[in-house]
Structure 1
Amino acid sequence: MIISHDVAGSGPAVVLLHSSVCDRRMWDAQWQRLADAGYRVVRGDFRGFGESPLAQAPYSDAGDVLALLDHLGIESAALVGASHGGRIALTVAGLRPAAVTALALLAPGMPGHRPGEELRAFGGREDELIEAGDIDGAVELNVETWLGPEADEAARASVRRMQRHAFDVQADATVGPDREEVDLALITAPALVVGGAHDVPDFRGIAAHLPTVLPNARHLELPWAGHLPNLERPEETTALLLDFLRETAQV
C-alpha cells in the first residue's frame, strides 16, 4: 500500500513527516511556502492517520516512507520530521543513508528510546481516559501536553481535530507498526535537531542528545516552544526550516 500523500512544487525533494498526535495537515502553514521556495514537497499520512487506512498486516512506517519515495521516483530527499515523524526520519536515514540529503527534526523521537517517568505517566493517563470511554478527555490531555504556552486557539483547534480523528480511526486497530532499530552513527546527512524549552523532559533530552551520536548534527532549543513548534509559531518555524534547507538542499 502507498500511504495517502500530497506532492507540490519542483526542485530538490523535501518530505514532511507528521507527529503521532497529528496528520499531514500539521504542515499546512509550511506546505506552500516550501514549494514556492523551489522544492518538490511531499507530505504523507502514516497508516491510521489522516486519509491512510489502518494496516491489515505487519508493516513499518519507515518502510512505508521508503515505498512512497520509490513510488514517486525520488532517489534522495531532505526529511523534515516532527516527534514520531522525527523518529521515522532517523530510521529511514539509518536504513538508506544515501537517500537522505538532510534531516530537520522538530522535537523528535529516537529509535530505541525508553520513555521516562513523565512520558509513562502521560501514556497511563491517556490509556485510562480511553478505556473509560472519555475520548474528549484524552484529546484535551494531548492538546494540553503537546502544545506550548504560546499556542493560539487555532493551533489548539487543529491538534484537537487531528488527534480526535486519529483516535476514531485507530479504535479498531489490530496491527501496529514494527519498530525498526538502526545504527544512528551510519547517518551522514547534516541534521538540525530542534527542541522546545516547554516540552516534556524525554523530548528535550533526545534533542540535546542526538548531536552527540549523529556525526553531522547541531542542536537548537527554542525558548518559547512546546512539542509542536511549527504549529505554535508557524512563520518562525518555516523561516528556520527554509534557512536550514538553503544550507543543505540547494535549489
Structure 2
Amino acid sequence: MTIAYEVSGDGPDVLMLHSTICDRRMWEPQVPALTEAGFRVTRADLRGFGESPLPGTPWNDADDVAELFGDGPVALVGSSGGGYVALELAARFPERISGLVLLCGGFAGWPKSPERLAYAAREDALIAAGDLDGAVELNIETWCGPDASPEAKDAVRAMQRRVFELQPPGDPEPEQIEIDWDVATITAPAVLVSGGHDLPDFRQIAEHLAGALPRARHVPLDWAGHFPNLERPAVINSLLIEILQNL
C-alpha cells in the first residue's frame, strides 16, 4: 500500500512529516509560502493518520516515506513524532538528506517528564471512561500554545479526531517494524526548534540533539507551544525559508 501524499510546487525537494496528533493537513499554512519561495513540497500521511489507514501487517514509517523521494537530495521538516521519522531517515539514508528541521521533535526512548506522564494518565482515564470528546480537548489544552487561534485549535481538533477514528482507543497497538539506526550516522545539518510553552521533554530532546548532530543548532521559541507552525505561521514560514535556502 502506498501512503497518501501530495506534491506542490517545483524546485529543491522538501518533505514534511506530521505530528502523531495531526496529519499532513497541519502543514497547510506552510505549503503556499514554501512553493512561492521556489521549493517542491511533499507532505504525507503516515499509516494510521489522515488518508492512510493502518495496514493488516507490520510496517516501517521510514521505509514508507523513503519511497516518496528518489536518490535525493531532500530536506526533511518534521513535527513531534514526524521528527523522529525524519531522524531515522537521515540516519539510514544520509546521502539522500540535505538537511533537517525538527519542530518540537520527538525521540523514541527519551524518559518522560512528570508533566508528560500526568498528561498520558489523564488521557488514558478519559479514554477508559469513553469520553473521547474530553480526550480531544485534553490534547488541545496540552499541545496548543497560547498563540494558537480558534481556527488552529479547530484544525488540531479535527486531526486528532481522525486519529481516534483510524486508531480506535482500546484496539491493540499497531505493530511497526523496528530497524536499528544511530544518530551518529547523520551527516545533514539540523535545526532543532523547541517551544517555551511545550512540555519540557521536547526542549530537552532539542538540546540533546543539538549537541549530538553535526552542524546543528537549537532555536528556542519562548512564545511557542508544541505546534509553532500553526500558532505563528508567518514566523515559522520565514524561518523555514531562511533555513532551507541556506542548506
Aligned to 1:175: 174
Q: In 2 relative to 1, CA 219–174 (structure 1 residues): closer, same or farther, beyond 3 Å?
A: closer
Provide the residue aligned with 1:3 in structure 2: 3
Residue 144, structure 1, aligned to residue 168, structure 2: no
* Structure 1 pair 74–143 and aligned structure 2 pair: CA distance change class (3 A): farther
How far apart, in 1, do the equivalents of 2:50 and 2:18 lie?
Answer: 10
1:58–1:175 CA contact under 8 A, matched in 2:
yes
Residue 138 of structure 2 is aligned to residue 135 of structure 1? no
Displacement of 1:174 after TM fit? 5.4
> Is the contact between residue 193 and residue 211 of structure 1 (CA under 8 Å) also seen in structure 2?
yes
SS of the residue corresponding to residue 86 of structure 1 reads helix
Give the equivalent residue in structure 1 for 2:210: 211
Which residue identity is paired with 1:91? Answer: E
Instruction: Provide, for residues 211-251 of structure 1, a one-character-per-residue CA deviation record: whole Å limited to 9, x for no partner.
Output: 11101200010010011000000111111000000111xxx
Distance 2:80 2:192 in 1: 11
> Map of 1:3-22 to 2, 5 A cutoff?
3-22=3-22
Structure 2 counterpart SS, 1:41 = strand
Give runs of aligned pairs for residues 43-192 of structure 1, distance below 5 A: 43-69=43-69, 73=70, 75-171=72-168, 175-192=174-191
SS in structure 1 opposite 2:220? strand
The percent identity for this pair of structures is: 51
Distance 1:178 1:155 in 2: 33
Q: Report the AA paired with residue 220 of structure 2.
A: E
Pairwise CA distance, 1:22:
0.5
Which amino acid is 2:229 matched to?
N
- Map 1:225-244 → 2, pairs under 5 A: 225-244=224-243
Per-residue CA distance 1:60-101 (angstroms, 9 max, x = gap): 1111111222xxx35220000000011110011011111110
Structure 2: gaps of 5 or more residues: none
CA RMSD after TM alignment: 1.3
Equivalent residue pairs, number: 245
Secondary structure of the structure 2 residue equivalent to 1:29: coil
CA distance in 2, matches of 1:25, 1:176: 24
Deviation at 1:126, TM superposition (A): 1.1
Scaled by the length of structure 2, the TM-score of the pair is 0.95
| Residues 208-217 or 221-230, more deviating | 208-217
Moved more, 129-138 or 167-176: 167-176
- Please give the alpha-carbon distance, in whole angstroms, between the structure 1 residues aligned to 2:147 and 2:31: 22
Shift of 1:49: 0.5
Contact 1:3 1:68 in 2 (8 A): no
Contact kept in structure 2, 1:13 and 1:74, CA below 8 Å = no
Deviations 1:186-235 (A, max 9, x none): 11111110000111011111111111110120001001001100000011
- Residue in structure 2 matched with residue 34 of structure 1 by the alignment: 34
Distance 2:118 2:177 in 1: 23
In 1, Cα distance between equivalents of 2:178 and 2:227:
22
Normalising to structure 1: TM-score of the pair?
0.94
Query: Any idea what SS the aligned residue of 1:68 has?
Result: coil
Q: Is the 8 Å Cα contact of residues 94 and 183 (structure 1) preserved in structure 2?
A: yes
> Which 10-residue stretch deviates more, 137-146 or 163-172?
163-172
Separation of aligned partners in 2, 1:195 and 1:11:
28
Q: Please give the alpha-carbon distance, in whole angstroms, between the structure 1 residues aligned to 2:108 and 2:244.
A: 24
Distance 1:136 1:74 in 2: 43
Distance (whole Å) between structure 2 residues aligned to residue 155 and residue 51 of structure 1: 20
Runs of at least 5 residues in structure 1 that lack an aligned partner in the other structure: none
